[in-house]
Amino acid sequence: MIQEESFRDTIATVNEEGRRNRIFPKRVTGRFALARKYVAWILLVFLFTAPWMTVGGQPLLLLDVLGRKFVLFGQIFRPADTFIFVLLMISGVLSVIVFTVAFGRIFCGWICPQTIFLEQVFRKIEYWIEGDRNRQIKLQKQPWNFEKIWKKSTKNILFYLVSFAVSNVFLQYLVGVDRWKLYLQEGPMQHFGTFSAIVIFSLVFYLVFAWFREQACIVVCPYGRLQGVMLDRNSLVIIYDWIRGEPRGKGKRKEQDEKGDCVDCGLCVQVCPTGIDIRNGTQLECVNCTACIDVCDSVMHKIGKQEGLIRFDSQNGVEQGRKTIFTTRVYAYIGILAVLLSIVTSLLLTRSEVETIVLRMPGKLFERVEGDIENIYNFTLINKTDEAKSLNFELLDQNGAIETTGGSIIALSPEEIKHGALIIRIPEQALSAEKTELKIGVYNSSNEVVEVVKTNFLGPRKRKKR
Ligand code: SF4
Ligand code: SF4
């Protein structure tokens, strides 16, 4: 490995005066560029079409934060399901960790929305209007003439329009397509707050992709900062084979030439969207975009050398030719992930259609009514499905009567939340203690128990027999 480490003292996007060093990555073609393009377009098509897709009458994905309703693949989640949601999030984070330990930062280069939008949408528009790297640099340096004004303004208008379109897609995820269409029909003045939020969000989105760009990956993204603890010598990363490449040097190669395979053309630096030189070794700024692999392969092809001077490999792979991806650490993470996923799956499978909360009415103990003891409770019933439900309460394991305010059958519309009071009476002689644990069954119209809730029933203090 190259020992000079001074490159780690600075970042390529900040110059010596502390000013922004704009990166103008060279356009790259090759097998990885093509594969990334296909992956990106599949993900973009999914992003734009998912809000319009439904499963069993429910959206495929809905994140209605204000309405406190989340829909994942047609399954409705309410705040009562926060536990499952949190476990799902932890499983997601752990999957990314497992994936990173084994395969490096592939997520950044291939799946991360920041990279996909920057490289496959905004950068493409930029290449289309301003041309490749050299023409962009020339345009940047030239004075503000007609060409520069129309190119820069067209590009920025298009950038804002794309940002506005993407903001609308995010709004569709938040409020659902039907409500979004209603906003459109009724116009921005009827929904001025939402419209202003969209305009502001579009502006932020535009600034991220027109100006902030790779800084998001280098200085903001916490995932990038964690690479140091997640990667080890067996992790697959994009790596320069310094054993084969060094000593680097320009000029023609002969078989007996003592120079390495790197012809020091600098193309791998010119294509890098974060401006780093991968020949210095694995760096936090590398988003695994594979552009340097493609360009170096084309150079190797031209000079008649084997491709793969820069490639997906591990440090041990380069040094010893050994590829051990599934180490003990990876297996340990996979084990934890499997446990978490089985818990989440069983929670999802056993999730009740109705959520019931029964709490004692504050400030009330018990009352004697015609030889019975009476306790009063508040209840909340949440219908988590998109079907209407008729429910009633019954005491389980205990003789007594149960009454609900507004009639014994409680009608709930799809996704409705209903509150009410519950009166329970139990004959005094049936109570053996001051506090009795009660099980209350919630029955549906087919007389099936949909949920069982537990609560305490208070009675008079029992005198000890002498
Ligand atoms: S592209 Fe390949 S040959 Fe050119 S400088 Fe980079 S590593 Fe060396
Ligand atoms: S070093 Fe290579 S893979 Fe990493 S960001 Fe730069 S071009 Fe992409």
Write the DSSP string, 330-355: HHHHHHHHHHHHHHHHHHHHT--SEE
Ligand 2 nearest atom to the CA of residue 271, by list position: 7
Tell me, using a 6 A CB cutoff, whether residue 121 lines ligand 2.
Answer: no
Higher per-residue confidence, 4 vs 275: 275
Percent of the chain with pLDDT over 70: 97
Cβ(295)–Cβ(33) under 8 Å?
no
**The residue count for the chain:** 466
Cβ(84)–Cβ(351) under 8 Å?
yes
Tell me, using a 6 A CB cutoff, whether residue 213 lines ligand 1.
Answer: no
The residue whose CA is least distant from atom 8 of ligand 2 is 289
**CA–centroid distance, residue 287 to ligand 2 (Å):** 6
Tell me, using a 6 A CB cutoff, whether residue 271 lines ligand 2.
Answer: yes
The residues with which 439 forms a beta bridge, in sequence order, are 396, 454
Q: Once rounded to an integer, what is the mean pLDDT over residues 369-385?
A: 90
Burial class of residue 418 (count of CB atoms within 10 Å of its CB; 0-12, 13-18, 19+): middle
Query: Hey, what domains does the chain have and what are their CATH numbers?
Result: 354-458 (2.60.40.10)
pLDDT value of residue 67: 80
Tell me, using a 6 A CB cutoff, whether residue 272 lines ligand 2.
Answer: yes
Residue 417 φ/ψ, nearest 5 degrees: -115, 125
pLDDT value of residue 168: 97
Which ligand is located closest to the Cα atom of residue 227?
A: 2
The residue whose CA is least distant from atom 2 of ligand 1 is 296
Among 287, 299, 311, say which to mutate for ligand 2: greatest number of ligand atoms within 8 Å of CB. 287
The residues with which 451 forms a beta bridge, in sequence order, are 442
Tell me, using a 6 A CB cutoff, whether residue 310 lines ligand 1.
Answer: yes
Give which of 377, 383, 382, 384 is closest to 358, Cα–Cα. 377
pLDDT band at 466 (very low <50, low <70, confident <90, very high): low
Residue 285 φ/ψ, nearest 5 degrees: -75, -15
Ligand 1 nearest atom to the CA of residue 310, by list position: 7
Residue 380 φ/ψ, nearest 5 degrees: -130, 130
Tell me, using a 6 A CB cutoff, whether residue 265 lines ligand 1.
Answer: yes
User: At residue 255, does pLDDT exceed 70?
Assistant: no
Give the separation between CA 26 and CA 270, rounded to whole angstroms.
6
User: At residue 256, does pLDDT exceed 70?
Assistant: no
Q: Take residue 207 and report the two structure tokens written for it.
A: 């600034």
pLDDT value of residue 4: 63
